[in-house]
Amino acid sequence: MRAIAREFLDSLAEDERAEAGGVLDDGGFREWKYNPGARPGLRIDALTGVQRELVYALLAAGMSPSGVTTLHSIMELEVPLKAIEKAIDHPRWPIRNPLAYYVRIFGDPTTDSAWAWRFNGHHVGVHFTVVGDEISATPQMFGANPRVHTAPDGSLVRTLAVEEDLGIGLMNDLSADQLVRAQLSADSPWDIASRNDPVVDIDFADRGIRYDELSGAQRDTVNAIIQLYLTRCADPLARQALREIEDAGRDAIRFSWAGPTGQIDNAMMIYYSVSGPTFLLEADRVNGNPNHIHTVWRDLRHDWGTDLLAEHYRTTARIGQLHD
């Protein structure tokens, strides 16, 4: 990952490098968004083909093959979304572009032991923080609009379908008594509750039905949801996150639901979360549009590499004191 980032930065002109760069320990490092529009960083349609392939190689270094495939499918949704919005003369249709995504590198991977990078744009938020040999892979956000559309060949395309189907399937598998404990509201929220907040509200850990109150088959579905979200990133990073979930105790994991129950169709607004002492996963049909979905993985310990950076700065300070 570090070598790819170095090669990418070396390929940039001085002004491009300034546009792509950021300072690791300033407030902007934790500021992010997943709505459309401009943001800090270097937009990838301004890159040469070789430079863009280096960005994609960086994504492949941090993400699994399935995660990269999903990310690119989300970017390509800008094409049908543009057609839908142009047909109704929506004011945003001119900005829809599958290359309107931005790469930004914080710190200097050529010299710094601690650095970070992100790939952001409409419905994509991929963040990696690197401290020595350790890597944080969150926050990680994937969304889709339209989540269901008809391809040019007439086939029906559903993006993030498994994320939706697992949550709906688990809700439908709950007994009436279990559903009372799982359901937060008959109405789904306007968006994922964690939004783009720099720090997640840990009260999520106390919402919904507990893992140890579920049947074996229901627990399998919870585990499948966790596996699906975490394995968007590269295998070593996913395995580390799964180990931490296991170490914290699966019985403390909770599943929550908001929205209607029973038979769910494409016109209904729904929300679910799976959370535990170390993580939060959310999925939500958003903004009053049931054909629009947001999903997110937040790590309650490692978002932005906060704990890794804190230890890095403590160690650096101790070394500095020894040299005084």
**Four-CA torsion 229, 235, 238, 239, nearest 10 degrees:** 140
The pLDDT of residue 309 is 84
Name which of 32, 34, 122, 124 is nearest 79 in CA terms. 122
Q: Would you give per-residue pLDDT tens digits along the chain (324 residues)?
A: 999 999 999 999 999 999 999 998 777 889 999 999 999 999 999 999 999 999 999 999 999 999 999 999 999 999 999 999 999 999 999 999 999 999 999 999 988 789 999 999 999 999 999 998 899 999 999 999 999 999 999 999 999 999 999 999 999 999 999 999 999 999 999 999 999 999 998 776 678 999 999 999 999 999 999 999 999 999 999 999 999 999 999 999 999 999 999 999 999 999 999 999 999 999 999 988 999 999 999 999 999 998 878 766 665 544 344 445
Q: Hey, how many other C-beta atoms are within 10 angstroms of the C-beta on 166?
A: 21
198 vs 180: CA distance, rounded Å = 31
DSSP 3-state percent helix, strand, coil across the chain (nearest 5)? 45, 20, 35
DSSP string, 193-208: TTTT-SS--GGGGGSS
Cβ–Cβ < 8 Å for 255, 214: yes
Cβ–Cβ < 8 Å for 309, 131: yes
The pLDDT of residue 202 is 73
CA-angle at 68, arms to 62 and 71, nearest 5°: 115
The pLDDT of residue 73 is 98
Chain-centre distance for alpha carbon 60: 15
Cβ–Cβ < 8 Å for 221, 209: no
Cβ–Cβ < 8 Å for 250, 275: no
- Enter the pTM of the model: 0.95
